[in-house]
């Protein structure tokens, strides 16, 4: 049994000398909203945003469930490089913690964060992000929108 536990720990750890890639992101001044750019494998990046507290959490979690009660967890929102924003329903972590590290800069209200092809504006009312194709998402404690 000890051998199996040791083997699982070694398998989960990054390989010796493996580079950890920082993933660029930001958080709102309150820390309630966080977004990070996840590179695609052979594809453009995807922006993933989450919110810690909101009035709509239960509704979006319910949206991720099937009528039979099975389903996955609500993980926030995503914006692809050239497609519309979407609600993210996922069964697990959406990046590789063995080789990638999330990094968040504080984004003061009234300032813009840019990481090609995304730009996000932090305001007291919430965070608005857009891609180069003009699609986007808006996230606040009280509401959300994707287009």
In a domain, 80, yes or no: yes
13 within domain boundaries: no
CA distance linking residue 37 with residue 72, whole number of Å: 22
Q: Which domain holds residue 108?
A: 21-146
Q: Beta 100-106 vs 21-27: how paired, if at all?
A: parallel
User: Token digits for 9?
Assistant: 């720990």
- CA 123-80-56 angle, to 5 degrees, is 50
Average pLDDT over residues 61-71: 87
pLDDT of residue 7: 34
Number of folded domains in the chain? 1
- Computed over every residue of the chain, the mean pLDDT equals 88
Distances (CA, A) of 87 to 34, 37, 75: 15, 16, 8
Distances (CA, A) of 86 to 12, 61, 98: 30, 14, 26
Query: Which token pair is 123?
Result: 């305001």
CA separation for the pair 67, 112 (Å, rounded): 40
Q: Does residue 14 sit within a domain?
A: no
Task: List pLDDT tens digits, range 4-53.
Answer: 333 334 344 555 556 899 999 999 999 999 999 999 888 889 999 999 99
Asked if the structure places residue 78 within a domain, the reply is yes
Beginning with the edge strand found earlier in the chain, give each strand of the sheet holding 112-115 in spatial order: 112-115, 118-123, 126-130, 136-139, 144-146
What are 86-132's pLDDT values in tens digits?
999 998 778 899 999 999 999 999 999 999 999 999 999 999 999 99
Asked, for residue 8, whether it belongs to a domain, the answer is no
Confirm whether 85 is domain-assigned.
yes
Is position 115 within any domain? yes
């Amino acid at each position: 049994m000890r051998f199996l536990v040791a083997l699982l720990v070694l398998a989960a750890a990054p390989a010796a000398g493996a580079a950890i890639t920082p993933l660029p992101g930001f958080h709102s001044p309150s820390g309630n909203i966080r977004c990070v750019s996840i590179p695609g494998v052979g594809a453009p990046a995807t922006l993933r945003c989450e919110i810690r507290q909101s009035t709509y959490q239960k509704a979006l979690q319910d949206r991720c469930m099937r009528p039979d009660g099975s389903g996955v967890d609500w993980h926030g929102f995503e914006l692809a490089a050239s497609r519309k924003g979407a609600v993210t329903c996922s069964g697990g972590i959406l990046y590789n913690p063995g080789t990638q590290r999330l990094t968040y800069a504080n984004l003061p209200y009234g300032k813009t964060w840019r990481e090609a092809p995304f730009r996000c504006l932090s305001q007291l009312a919430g965070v608005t992000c857009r891609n180069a194709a003009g699609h986007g998402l808006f996230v606040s404690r009280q509401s959300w929108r994707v287009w």
